[in-house]
A and B are shown apart, each in its own frame.
Chain A
Amino acid sequence: MNIVVCVKHVPDAQSERTFNDSDNTTDREGVDGLLSELDEYAVEEALKLVEASEGEVTVLTVGPAGAADALKKALQMGAHKAVHVTDDAIHGSDAPATSLLLAKAIEKIGTPDVVITGMASTDGTMGVVPAMLAERLNLPMVTYASQLTIDGSAVTARRDGDTASETIEATLPALVSVTDQINEPRYPSFKGIMAAKKKPVETWGLGDLGVDAGQVGLGAAWTKVDSFAKRPPREKGEIVTDEGDGGTKLAEFLASRKFI
């Protein structure tokens, strides 16, 4: 079984994330980046599936030079090879353009049995690239899997929705997005870190994918950020220490704000 896992290199949520003043895009240089935490679950699930049978896990990313770090982490976890789609013209691409690049790269890799993604990136948090990718690859899709089994020609997943817990089946090849409930991602071992250095990483530009520069990047984006503003910090509120009357004071505050 061959699996492609799509991953994203994102600005660290623990640091001060911001935008570029010049073009309103996400600042990916002034802030430390890392493999999106939610993508670690996708990598882990792919590794488990391959370890239980056979095959290879290819990790794929679209992003600037620094995005190679995300691939490196996935290779250290145990992925077999990596593909990095990068090109100056890609800067500012929106979700549809990103999904186009991912789709073209997956076609070039050779459509696998399963494409696995995280549920969303931790920076843009749109959570729509998996659906766009399924649409472009014309694959059935199972979203938000919290449990996954693959048996011959079908994928079965459990999805814990708001009103029901569902079992979903799709024929292979398929695209699956997984939640952070599905597994506990492994930490790279020392052996894994050493082995990753020898694993193949291919770097592809737009020309390798047959994509025209006019189809991607900020200029081709179907949406644009008109303006951004830092939310003013919340005014520090009243903090009391419970001396046996904390609950009463809490109720008084609620009454003063007309909540009761």
Chain B
Amino acid sequence: MNRYNNQFKITFPAKSANEAFSRSLISAFSTQLDPTIEELCDIKTAVSEAVTNCIVHAYAKETDERKKTVSITAYIEYDNLLTVKISDRGCGIDDIEKALQPMYSGSGSDERSGMGFSIMGCFTDKLSVKSKPGKGTTVTLKKYIGKQHAAKK
């Protein structure tokens, strides 16, 4: 069996209109795994949170519009494991542990609930965050999807 079945990579401007676009994209890519509606909603919501973080936080101080980009790499392994990496080249996270706490928001204004990472963690099987201040952040989401996984349970 081929370990890597399929993958895609895309880079787009960190504009809020692309939040819905990224959800549609991951939804369309995941369809080949024959996901349940619940699984599809989970992965869409988790990706939406990660992309929103890039748009809201990563480039708050960046003035060069061309540098404000978000990249998504997604791949399927072992027929049922979906991995999605969402990365930016923004300000990075100083204290990842603090950022991962429920109800913590790095943005004091604009009514952010601080639940983004909690939702990502809850709706996927594995969440990991790598970040370097000034260099950017990569969030990796892993989720088992589809009937084969459901049958094994």
Judge: A and B partners, yes or no: no
* A contact residues vs B (CB 8 Å cutoff): none
Interface residues of B (CB under 8 A from A): none
